[in-house]
Chains A and B, each alone.
Chain A
Amino acid sequence: DAMVIQNPRYQVTQFGKPVTLSCSQTLNHNVMYWYQQKSSQAPKLLFHYYDKDFNNEADTPDNFQSRRPNTSFCFLDIRSPGLGDAAMYLCATSRGGGTYEQYFGPGTRLTVT
């Protein structure tokens, strides 16, 4: 089945210790997104890639970086996690913008100790 896969499902890191979350897709979609979701709030878009073109949301902290080495994989790097970065991180893909639906992975729950 075509899908969006996120690893790990649960990640614990220490305050200030860099962490990388990964996402892969078998849908062959052009666009990949990273969202942050806290408790039961709406997902907050951090950035997206259209192919290799990177687009950062204006209010995404510099602490968050991303890499997309190829169509299938995308990584979220948190350089110095703070307690406020504890959240669910969701990866999504779509064929394009606008009327194309976004398909989400199961998410990675990040805990910062």
Chain B
Amino acid sequence: DQQVKQNSPSLSVQEGRISILNCDYTNSMFDYFLWYKKYPAEGPTFLISISSIKDKNEDGRFTVFLNKSAKHLSLHIVPSQPGDSAVYFCAASEGSNYQLIWGAGTKLIIKP
């Protein structure tokens, strides 16, 4: 049973436009959410996180929105750049648990 779902395996966006990556979760006990970016043949790189007590967190071009009632979060990238082309993973944790529960990833392609 997948507790964290990224329903879009891939997304193609024009350079300069907004990229919106979505993530849904089923476990209401999750209280911390993270986005990671992964290039081929490299380890995931931490991008941005959000606590369940917030509904928005911004860091430069990256903004994460959390809708607890819908159990949905999204990552917005504005403006999208060619270097943003990568696989993006959504992950969640519960309390002080060490295990991250990962989504399957969304491949973002930024078209020039």
Contacts and interface: CB of A to CB of B under 8 A. Distances in A.
Interface of A: 4, 6, 31, 33, 40-43, 45, 48, 50, 55, 57, 90-92, 94, 96-99, 101-107, 109
A24 to B, nearest CB: 14
Contact of A92 (B43, B89, B107): B43
Interface residues of B, number: 25
Interface of B: 32, 34, 36, 41-46, 49, 51, 87, 89, 93, 95-100, 102-105, 107
A103 B37 CA distance: 12
A99 B32 contact: yes
A33 B43 CA distance: 13
A76 B86 CA distance: 27
A104 B45 CA distance: 7
Contacts of B95: 98
B98 A42 contact: no
A4 B42 CA distance: 12
B99 A45 contact: yes
B98 A101 contact: no
